[in-house]
Amino acid sequence: MSNKTYALIIAGGVGARMGTDIPKQFLSVFDRPVLSYTMEAFQKDENIDGIAIVSVEGWDHMIDAIAKQYKITKYVGNCLGGSTGQESIYNGLRFLKSHIDEGDIVLIHDAIRPLVSKTIIDDCIEVIKEHGNAVSVIPCNEVILENVEGSNTEADRTIPRSILKRTQTPQGASLKTLLEMHEKARKEGKSYIATADMLLGSGYKVHYSIGSEKNVKLTTQDDLDIMKALLEVSKNER
């Protein structure tokens, strides 16, 4: 029997950099919460078998309501996030452990990347099936400067773009692999920024899957404007 694939959407952030009163994953864009777009992207993909959410404290009922209103039938529930992104992911993995098999694939995705495409999701799944893990990436097209040691205002050299990739989400592996990494990190007291970082720190080679400039992460008000513009273009094309 083939393994199933689940999306673990991390909606545990408070969005301080956005400068809003509510978490940015619940901001309204064209009269819909951002999270509804993210959930719908995975709902529509036939290769996704279930969707779980890691929630900000006090917003769990809102997530249930969003799932109901937007007919997210693959929604299996939500759990409370932690004080860091790493803790939030670990809480989500433990939640999934009671619902899925350890060999099932888990795609960890930022709730604030609502425009993730079917192409990105499907390629991530295929790379995991072939190599054991996958991280969505895009090329680094900008010139990257390295600060002069001890300075944050001047540079003395560039870093070649050809050796760099910019990571996005989804990032994933089997539930077994992800849980083992997180439990080892907790035991050793190690902190990681993202799943890609933890994979490398755990001795794995990271395998690339397709990303996109359109897979924008909503960090600032400018990002919200970009999301609205991309939705308008998509609407006009349809």
The number of CA neighbours under 13 Å toward the Cβ of 199 is 22
CA distance 6 to 4: 7
Pick left, alpha or beta for residue 19 (phi over 0 → left; psi -120 to 50 → alpha; otherwise beta): left
pTM greater than 0.75: yes
pLDDT for 13 = 74
Mean pLDDT of 87-104: 97
pLDDT for 1 = 43
CA distances 170 to 107, 119, 199, 215, Å, are 6, 11, 14, 10
Round the average pLDDT of the chain to a whole number and report it.
94
pLDDT for 19 = 59
| pLDDT tens sequence across 183-238 | 999 999 999 999 999 999 999 999 999 999 999 999 999 999 999 999 999 888 86
Which tokens sit at 142?
């900008």
| pLDDT tens sequence across 124-171 | 999 999 999 999 999 999 999 999 988 889 999 999 999 999 999 999
